Chain A
Amino acid sequence: MSARAERRAALLNQLPLWLGLVLLWMLLWGSFSWLNLVTGALLASLVSIVFYLPAVQLSGRLDPARTVVFLLRLLGDIVRASVQVAWLALKPLRTTAGPQSAIIAVPLRTRSDLILTWTAVATSIVPGSIVIDTDRVSSTLYLHVLGVRTHAQIDLFRASVLATERRIVGAFGSREDLERLALGDAVAAVAAATGAVAADARAASTRDDDSDRRNLDDTGKET
C-alpha cells in the first residue's frame, strides 16, 4: 500500500470517532442546529490534532441487534447488581466472619484493546466488581468481586465476565475475535468430551500457564 493510501485508510478509521465527538458536542448543547454542527466539527478536528493519541483500532464490524441486546443486558445487570450491593450494605445483622470477597484473574480470549476496554468498563460499571488491574499482553482482567465466599461462586462470576466478553465481541468485535471465541468453544467441547474440565481447556487455549494457577487455587489462603 502506498503511503497515500495508508493515510486515507487511517483517516477513514478515525472518521467514526470524529463523528462521535461531533455528536457528543451536540448532545452537550442539547440541540441539533447547524451552528452546533459546524462548531462541533471544528472542535472535534482541533481536539484530534492537539490531543493526539495512538489511533483506536476499530474492528470495522457492527451488529446493531446484538449491540442493543448487549446494552439492554448491561442495563439489567446494573439494576440487579445495584439492588444486591444495596442489600449487602443495608441488611441488618451482617455476618462479618470469614472471607466475603476475592481478587480473581479472568483471562479473556480477545486480543483487541478496544474489546478489552469495553469488557473492563462493562464489568466495572456493574456493581459488585471493580477492575484493579489489566494485563494487556495476555488480555487478563484482575477484578475485585464483592459478596463471594466459595470457589464455585468465583467460577460462576468468571463465566459471567466471559459471557459479557462474548456479547461485546458478538456486537462489534472483529472477525478474528469471533473465530477465536469459536475456536475456544471447540477446544472446550473436545476437552469436555474427553473428560477434562471444560473451563481448564478454555483457559488453556488462551493462556499456557493457567493450569498451574488453577492448581494453586486449592492450596488455601495466602497471607
Chain B
Amino acid sequence: MTPAIGDVVTAVLVLSAALMCLAAGVGLLRFPDVLSRLHAATKPQIFGLIAVTLDVAVNNFTLGTVTLSVAIVAFQALTAPMAAHLIARVAHDTDRFRPELLVVDELGRANRRGDRGD
C-alpha cells in the first residue's frame, strides 16, 4: 500500500469514528429521556471503535495488533449491551422514563398483568 492510500484510509476511518463519537455526545444531550439517551451513550461509538481499531490493525499489520483489535471489539460488543440493559431495566422498574414518548409499553403491560415468568 502506498503511503497516500494509507493516509486516505486512515483519514476516512478515524474521521468517521470521531463523527460517531461526536454524535453520541450530542445525542446524550438532545435525546429526551433516560432510555433514548442510553442509545446515544452506548451505540454509535461501537462503530467508532470498530473504525479506530481497524485503522490501527491496517497500519500496523502484525498478528499481535490484529488479534488484540479483535479482542477489544469483541469485549466492547459483549459488555456495552450489558451496561445499557442494567440501566434501562432500573430506569423502567423505577418509572424514570417518559411514557408519553412511547408508542406502546408492552413490558409495563406484562408486569401489570403479572404474567412474567420470574
Contact status A128-B43, CB under 8 Å: yes
Chain B residues lying within 8 Å of A140, measured Cβ to Cβ, are 110
Q: Dominant SS at the B interface?
A: helix
B23 interfacial contact with A, CB 8 Å: yes
B9 interfacial contact with A, CB 8 Å: no
Chain B residues lying within 8 Å of A104, measured Cβ to Cβ, are 104, 106
How many residues of chain B get a CB closer than 8 Å to chain A's CBs? 54
- Which residues of chain A from 85 to 129 have a CB within 8 Å of any chain B CB? 85-90, 94, 96, 99-105, 120-121, 124-128
Interface size class of A (residues with CB under 8 A): 35 or more
Q: Contacting B71 at CB < 8 Å: which of A27, A102, A105, A150?
A: A27
Chain B residues lying within 8 Å of A127, measured Cβ to Cβ, are 39, 43-44, 46-47
Question: Assuming the A-B contacts A78-B46, A85-B43, A88-B27, are A100 and B101 also in contact, with contact meaning beta carbons closer than 8 angstroms in the complex?
Answer: yes
Question: Assuming the A-B contacts A32-B63, A127-B44, are A216 and B115 also in contact, with contact meaning beta carbons closer than 8 angstroms in the complex?
Answer: no
Contact status A81-B43, CB under 8 Å: yes
Contact status B67-A27, CB under 8 Å: yes
A43 interfacial contact with B, CB 8 Å: no
Chain A residues lying within 8 Å of B47, measured Cβ to Cβ, are 78-79, 82-83, 127
Contact status B85-A101, CB under 8 Å: no
Q: Contacting B68 at CB < 8 Å: which of A27, A130, A144?
A: A27
Chain A residues lying within 8 Å of B32, measured Cβ to Cβ, are 96
Question: Assuming the A-B contacts A130-B85, A136-B118, are A31 and B105 also in contact, with contact meaning beta carbons closer than 8 angstroms in the complex?
Answer: no
Docked pose: A222 CA to B101 CA in angstroms: 11
Question: Assuming the A-B contacts A89-B24, A89-B26, A90-B23, are A103 and B107 also in contact, with contact meaning beta carbons closer than 8 angstroms in the complex?
Answer: yes
Question: Assuming the A-B contacts A30-B63, A88-B27, are A102 and B104 also in contact, with contact meaning beta carbons closer than 8 angstroms in the complex?
Answer: yes
